[in-house]
Amino acid sequence: MSEVDVALHHKVQQVSNLVVRLGEQVGSVSGQVSAVQADQQQTRTELQQLRDEFLAFVQTAQLTANVQRAETRVGVIQDQVDHEFGHYKTVRRTAVGMLQAFDLGLVSEDNVRMVGDQLMLQTPRYWLAPALVALASWSADDRSLCERAVEEAFRRSPDRTALFFALVLRRQNRPEAAVRWLRHYLLAQDPAALGREFAVILESIAQGAFGLAGRELLNGTLARWRERLMDSEEAQTKQITRWREEVDSLAQPSAAADFPRLVQICPQWPQLDGVLSRARAHQAVLDKYRAILDQEFQPSERLEDAVDDILDRLVSEYDDEELPLRRDLAFNHAVIDHGGDLDAARHTADADSASYEETLDYLTVQTTAALNPAAIGTSPATQRLSVAACQEWFLQAHAGFTRDYRAAMPQDVQAHFSTVCTVTAQSFHLPPWAGSFRQPLPDLERSLHAHWDQYTQPFINSYAYPWAKKATPLALVLVGILVLVGAASILVALVIAAVVGGVWGFVLHNGAQAASRLQENARRVLEQAKLESLHQLRAASAELTDWNEKFRTADGVEPHCRELIKSLMTATQGGSPFEGRTVAKEGTAS
């Protein structure tokens, strides 16, 4: 019997050792699983960061490449313009120089005629070349050649030729002849399809270049044109749309950096950000157009100088055949200005596309002179008058802009939470929670707190050690030992039961301790996540209060902006000294 007891005791000891080693291995595997889970989470986080950095790098590289291509394209286009149209520049520079040479008498008539003849040979299709031949022959009193040259220039470009000689005659103190050329030009114009040179008319009005008779002729003609075009609802809508694009372009950058919590938890943030950005446009509009109205315009003291400036603008205007290249050049400059952002560059180029059309209606010319005077070669003085002339469209565009962003204000600003927390080898998914900031903050906090408790407590309880499940096999084994072994020897049965129960109980105790630690860890992690979400909720509420204050401040500028636009009706020509002037004696200033 003793041999049986010894053998049985030896077997029990082996089983106990195996159980202990198994418990240690289970604990080791559990630790390794936790380590692998932590490594996996860290790897996932690092991969996400790497992906974000890679995407940012790709975007930056793309923008840089766009800028480089645009810079290269600008150089290529400019070279093409210089190659194909560079010889026009010589003619343009010579035009005003020839008139000034007549004033000073420092160049002989033979040299002037020789220069005109050379330019006529070098630019066979350009309208200005025969116009210069006409000037040279006029100076030499060669009437026959002058008339033929005028006819040729008129054949090549009737509109520019008429304006050119109207300005030249006004410069030479021949107001009646100048007004006849001006009337001839105006009668031939279709206000719905004006040439690009018409910007010179606006410039002449700003400078008072044609004197009293010319001013009356221009005012009456332009008033009839405006009345005629204003009958078209489509034409007015087109100008209002253009001014709306101008106001939209002054919307300020995103304020996301000032409201990080709202960005994270508020689904309405895109609307809030858009509303604030557009409300801040009022100050930008106010600053820009105050500067335009307040800038001082110093007119030339001599009529000749004023007309020379206008002639420079007329002769330097792009020819129609240059426009495709100029349009492409403007787009590539916009790409460079916007740092490679093709969409923003295209939007800017589209907004100014009218500046590169061959013909424009009178209303569009006014709008273009107001919004982009450099595109059609007009001065700040003309821009100021054009802005005043566009006051009605500007006011309607501004009112529509204000109405639209106010209508876009979210009626209910909410906070949303739904998160995933990794606890050891499991992930806790918090179901979505939503709360409206129209409720008091304490109520929102209680609601969010209760939402967390509702879902975290069952998750924490799931880590509790299943004593009933784990202890039942032990009880069955002990009963089996007592029944089976106890039939032979109750003492041996008790010893074996004690050893198995002790070892098994040790394993169960270790499992219970591990489960308790897991529970405590889960409780700590989830409690921290809950506190963080409550902190975000409070911070978002504070940021929303700050947002409302900034919006009220920005929106409060709207009445001042509206009053400025209304006051444009009182803008004047700035008292040009040439409005009613005639030159008493050629070469002298009055």
Tens-place pLDDT, residues 462-520 = 666 676 676 677 677 667 766 666 666 777 667 777 777 777 777 777 777 777 777 77
Task: Calculate the average pLDDT of the chain.
Answer: 79
448 in Cβ contact with 467 (< 8 Å): no
β-strand partners of 414: 436
Digit-coded pLDDT (tens) for 189-244: 888 888 877 888 888 887 777 878 888 888 889 889 988 888 888 888 999 999 99
CA distances from 13 to 10, 24, 271, 498 (A): 5, 16, 73, 12
List C-alpha distances in Å: 456 to 221, 416, 462, 510, 567.
Answer: 80, 17, 10, 25, 63
Confidence of residue 286 (pLDDT cuts 50, 70, 90): very high
Residue range of the domain that includes 520: 414-560
d(CA 559, CA 570): 18
Q: Which residues contact 205 (CB under 8 A, 6 or more apart)?
A: 215, 218, 382, 385, 573
Query: CA geometry: angle at 521 spanning 519 and 527, to 5°?
Result: 100
- Total domain count for the chain? 1
With CA atoms as reference, report the closest residue to 243 among 189, 283, 289.
289
Q: Per the domain annotation, does 343 fall within a domain?
A: no
| Vertex 54 angle, CA 49 and 59, to 5° | 130
Structure tokens given for 40: 């996996």
Is position 497 within any domain?
Answer: yes
Residue 178 domain flag: no
Can you read off the two tokens belonging to residue 59? 């975007």
For residue 63, which of 338, 455, 414 has the smallest C-alpha distance? 338
Q: What is the pLDDT of residue 564?
A: 94
In a domain, 435, yes or no: yes
Of 164, 123, 130, 129, which Cα lies nearest the Cα of 146? Answer: 130
Q: How confident is the model at residue 585 (pLDDT cuts 50, 70, 90)?
A: very low
Q: Is residue 479 part of a domain?
A: yes
The pLDDT value recorded for residue 24 is 59
Pairwise pLDDT comparison (569 vs 186), residue with the higher score: 186
Phi, psi torsion values for 379, nearest 5 degrees: -90, 170
Q: With respect to residue 84, please indicate whether it lies within any of the assigned structural domains.
A: no
What pLDDT was estimated at residue 550? 95
Above 80 in pLDDT, residue 544?
yes
Total count of residues recorded for the chain: 590
Over 50: is that where the pLDDT of 260 sits? yes
Whole-number Å distance between alpha carbons of 317 and 326: 11
The listed range with the strongest mean pLDDT (367-376, 538-547, 571-580) is 538-547
AA identity, residue 359: T
Average pLDDT rounded to a whole number, residues 279-283:
96
- Residue among 116, 201, 179 at smallest CA distance from 152: 116
Does residue 275 have a pLDDT over 90? yes
pLDDT tens per residue across span 78-128:
777 766 666 666 777 777 777 777 766 667 777 777 877 777 877 777 888
| Paired strand residues for 415 | 435
**Rg of the chain's alpha carbons, rounded to an integer?**
43
Q: What is the pLDDT of residue 351?
A: 59
When mean pLDDT is compared over 71-85, 173-187, 563-577, the highest value belongs to: 173-187
pLDDT value for 552: 96
The answer to whether residue 278 is domain-embedded is no
What is the C-alpha separation between 561 and 568, in angstroms, rounded? 11
223 is a domain residue: no
Task: Decide: 582 and 172 in contact? Cβ < 8 Å.
Answer: no
Contact assessment for residue 427 and residue 420, using Cβ atoms and an 8 Å cutoff: yes
Q: Estimate the crossing angle of helix 211-230 against helix 175-187, to 10 degrees.
A: 10
Provide the percentage of residues in the chain whose pLDDT is more than 70.
76
Question: Which of the two residues, 353 and 503, has the higher pLDDT score?
Answer: 503
Q: How far apart are CA 352 and CA 31, in angstroms?
A: 67
Ramachandran sector of residue 155 (left: φ over 0; alpha: ψ -120 to 50; beta: rest): alpha
